[in-house]
Amino acid sequence: MIRIVLVDDQELVRAGLRPLAELDGDITVVGEAADGRTGLSRVRVLRPDVVLMDVRMPALDGIEATRAIVADETLRDVRVLVLTTFDDDEDVVEAIRAGASGYLLKDVSPTDLRDAVRTVAAGGSLLSPAVTAAVMQAAARGPRPPDDGRIGTLTEREREVLEQVGRGLTNDEIARALYLSPATARTYVSRLLTKLDARDRAALVVLAYETGLVRPGG
């Protein structure tokens, strides 16, 4: 059973998400909160598998709450899935930098919602094709963080793989694009996560755009 906590300042949203999340019987909502500070407290007590986190909330916003969850060693197994709209694209980039494992639009279909929760609970990251382009454009046009030299440590092949990850390709698609076996593609992605100190695939995508390795429309 996948245990989740809903953190959103709109009661109507939380009330709607609960039955949708629990429909198939393998996901259960163990707690709710109307702001980030209360949500953080609930997460520390309940230790859910996944937190569905809104971005803009009173008391403590979703970005800072996500950052606090990721920084807490006792919550290392808790994954954060951000809820957003296109208008929040720059906020979502900040949430991914803070350690969120992915994001959803609030008009997500019930099936996609449950699939996203399962993906994140299993240790994956969610980069929805419907929103990746807009969010990554925000990362590319925003201020770039100082170059810490990590990209320079990559081999030519690792840079090629990172570029394909940044374009949203799956491991199998990367394998076909670069004439690799699927196992080798997975190995390269795992190596990138380690060398770049990235929490998950979502962080790799943001890094690829922020460093200019991939450009919107390129």
At 84-107, the pLDDT tens digits run 776 666 777 777 778 888 888 888
What domains are there in the chain, each with its CATH number? 2-140 (3.40.50.2300), 145-210 (1.10.10.10)
Tally Cβ neighbours within 10 Å of residue 79.
28
Task: Read off the pLDDT of each residue in 21-35 and give the average, rounded to a whole number.
Answer: 95
Contacts of 138 (CB under 8 A, 6+ apart): 89, 90, 92, 93
Contacts of 21 (CB under 8 A, 6+ apart): 4, 6, 27, 29, 52, 113, 114, 117
This prediction's pTM: 0.77
Task: Return the axis-axis angle of helices 182-195 and 171-178, rounded to nearest 10°.
Answer: 110
The beta-strand segments (E) located in the chain are 2-7, 27-33, 50-54, 79-84, 102-105
